[in-house]
Structure 1
Amino acid sequence: MRADARAGEGARLLAAFATRVVPRLARARAHKGSHGGKIAVVGGSELYAGAPYFASAAAMRAGCDLCHVFTHAKCAPVMKGYGPDLIVHEAWSRDAREATRGAKTETETENERSIDLVEAFGRFRIDNAVIGPGLGRGAALEAVEALREVAAACVVDADGLKALEPTSADEDGAEAARGRNPTALATPNKMELWRLVRKASGAFEGGVTTMDLSAREDREKIASALRRYAGYNFLVKGEDDYLFIQHWDVAPSVCDSERAASGDASIVRLRFDGVGSPKRSGGQGDILAGVLAVFLLWSQRTDATTASNRLDDYVAAVGAACFLVKAASSAAYREYGRGAHAQDVLARVASTFMAHLEPDLS
């Protein structure tokens, strides 16, 4: 890894990721899945084909070995036309709008396609998954909770967030999460976060503009609400990204003693100066989701033997994904300015990884 990538806490995260988390490429054991893993993207609908493409293509550019896309039957041909690298499955054919049209005819029932996603994950030996990009309100939302338990560190984004339900006010979120995989990650932007918090606790009733992540009091309200989403961690995307760590018994080493003493130890601000772009376009969040699925899988495959070390690897993976996409966005903006779009960011993911995150092989 280049020594000048970032300074301070961000540099330590990136160094930890490059030295501990990134798998070394070894020819002696090279087979599909051995290094980068097998990722699935569950998303897409009759209307949205770009979102699952960006997530799956980003996973490939970030280093996964195989990527399966499970999508709507009308989205699948479009996905296949984007390129030969993706394995595209026609996973379902009915969406929420069709479900409101009344009783189906016998022919309509026979023509409906729907596969058991959990069974498919096992059959294709899927290691990790992204659920939600472009999914709409289709029937696949019902699979979110089941899929998160069979993936190493499932990433739930975009429409997948609509499937998350908080525990009741008198139920302990930590108790509800007991025995579940604690590595699933939901990735809301600030507006999506506000909706999740409102649904869980009713806080910030004045609107999203009343919620200030830079204020400790607001972060504590947010953390309290998010703990009711049993078993999920939350990455809140923005100029600075905030990782809310739920239901772990240890704090990551990136938390200093002052933050730990203040009760803010379960919240990590991920800040990397000098990267990012003022230009926003659709698809950048999908790119991040795909990268996260790969990096989080790698974080589950390290030789960490303690809960503290496992959590540090997890946080390093999240931080590295945020940095990579922002650095790729910076590179795209330098070349295209306000004309930069998600395709330009995607095209720079692999080269940015090589420049900043590829470990020394000497």
Structure 2
Amino acid sequence: MPIPRHILEQLKALIPPLNGTLHKGQSGRVGVLGGALDYTGAPYFAAISALRMGADLSHVICSPTAAGPIKTYSPDLIVHPILRQDAPVETVKSELDSLFSRLHVLVIGPGLGREDYMQKFARTAVSIARNRGMFLVLDADALFLVGKDISIIQGYRRAILTPNLVEFKRLADQVGVSPDTPVDQRARLLSKLLGGVTVLQKGAHDMIVTDTRGPDADLAASQLSGADPEKEEFCELVKVDVPGGYKRCGGQGDILSGTVGTFLAWGLSYEEGAFGDKSIPASRVPLLAAVGGSMVTRTASRLAFKKAGRSLVTQDMLSEIGYAFAETFGDVEQFDGKL
């Protein structure tokens, strides 16, 4: 099933032009919060994928035990080892608040782990981000945090949750989605119970559902969505069945978090008037970002699998992100033809 044309056109409108008109940072400043003692690969993959997607700057906010390895993976990443196990919450809160003032979007969860101190800092980060009106992506063990207390994210429609099959089932059970709910309606119900938060349910095909009445939504948002508010109760569902590779490597979800995060960062720059005509409502951005990130990640998986086959690992996908983006969106304004 092809992605609706109006969604593709809106996605292209959010992509920053490559024509020399933007300064460093306006094409996206992404932060990834995660990385504990045993988990250094996941935050790296999410953060470096954001750069490969086209973000200008990518930060990793992690524990000191994870910072050293992550710094050795790539000099392109800015690493902040501030999530110290013995640090007072207020101290870390102040550091996070200062750092978030420099970011467009925050991805929470890759490599987060379930240690009490990391979960506590993640909760603090969500609170600060909400107060600042930041876009959020929650994945992996950040979803475990949400499941324990849905008020952390409930009703915050500038957020995207990206659960895989197991994470979705656990979260649905915790939130109260009846197991008798038809499979094709569970993502809708989960989004509704979470107060309209966008849900990207990963699987053989990705299901993305959102409430088109975001906090600043208006009639124009409903019209742009193509949804019938009477029949769909302002919920919009998009199925992304773009072919992916047949080998499912463990870090593909981290790459998805990074690509979705970049689209959200572009959405904020668009919202702030850095480029484009601002005709797309901000309430529309999470759905578009989830669709765009899903399409690029699945395409990168297919391109990498074509080369590596059964031996595919997450690292193989990184170099394919740029090609996947070009295949998906046709090199939008690529270099403006002047280079």
Q: Structure 2 length as normaliser, TM-score?
A: 0.82
- Listed as ranges, the matches of 1:9-24 within 5 Å are 9-10=3-4, 12-18=6-12, 20-24=13-17
Identify which of 140, 150, 163 aligns with 1:166.
150
Deviations 1:321-351 (A, max 9, x none): 1110111100011111111111111121022
Cα pair distance change 1:243/1:147, threshold 3 Å: farther
Identify which of 281, 285, 292 aligns with 1:320.
292
Q: CA deviation at 1:144?
A: 4.0
Contact 2:15 2:266 in 1 (8 A): yes
Paired position in structure 1 for 2:124: 143
Matched, 1:238 2:203: yes
SS in 2 for 1:337: helix
Contact 2:209 2:287 in 1 (8 A): no
Paired position in structure 2 for 1:354: 326
Deviations 1:184-203 (A, max 9, x none): 11111122112112112152
Deviations 1:271-314 (A, max 9, x none): 244x21121111100000011111012123335656x7444454
Q: CA deviation at 1:121?
A: 2.4
Contact 1:166 1:228 in 2 (8 A): no
Distance in 1 between residues matched to 2:32 and 2:74, nearest whole Å: 15
Distance in 2 between residues matched to 1:85 and 1:323, nearest whole Å: 25
Q: CA deviation at 1:151?
A: 5.5
SS in 1 for 2:65: coil
Paired position in structure 2 for 1:97: none
Contact 2:261 2:289 in 1 (8 A): no
Distance in 1 between residues matched to 2:290 and 2:87, nearest whole Å: 43
Cα pair distance change 1:311/1:8, threshold 3 Å: farther
Matched, 1:25 2:38: no
Deviations 1:14-44 (A, max 9, x none): 34322x11011342442x202x221110001
Q: Which has the higher helix share?
A: 2
Deviations 1:2-24 (A, max 9, x none): xxxxx843555334322x11011
Paired position in structure 2 for 1:292: 260
Paired position in structure 2 for 1:104: none
Contact 1:242 1:270 in 2 (8 A): yes
Identify which of 241, 245, 248 aligns with 1:280.
248
Distance in 2 between residues matched to 1:135 and 1:196, nearest whole Å: 17
Contact 1:69 1:87 in 2 (8 A): yes
- Listed as ranges, the matches of 1:103-122 within 5 Å are 115-116=92-93, 117-122=95-100
Identify which of 266, 269, 272 aligns with 2:238.
269
State the one-letter code of the partner of 2:323.
S
Distance in 2 between residues matched to 1:313 and 1:92, nearest whole Å: 30
Contact 1:41 1:55 in 2 (8 A): yes
SS in 2 for 1:270: strand
Contact 2:201 2:208 in 1 (8 A): yes
Identity fraction in percent = 26
Larger Rg: 1
Deviations 1:30-79 (A, max 9, x none): 2x202x22111000110010000000000010111111111011100000
Q: CA deviation at 1:93?
A: 2.8
Paired position in structure 1 for 2:35: 44
Deviations 1:142-186 (A, max 9, x none): 22431431363111111111221235xxxxx9xx73xxx521111
SS in 2 for 1:126: coil
SS in 2 for 1:47: coil
Paired position in structure 1 for 2:139: 157
SS in 2 for 1:301: helix
Contact 1:184 1:231 in 2 (8 A): no
State the one-letter code of the partner of 1:24.
P
Paired position in structure 1 for 2:273: none
| Aligned length, in residue pairs | 315
Distance in 1 between residues matched to 2:223 and 2:258, nearest whole Å: 24
Identify which of 317, 337, 342 aligns with 2:314.
342
Matched, 1:129 2:106: yes
State the one-letter code of the partner of 2:150.
P
Q: Structure 1 length as normaliser, TM-score?
A: 0.77
* Structural RMSD (CA): 3.0
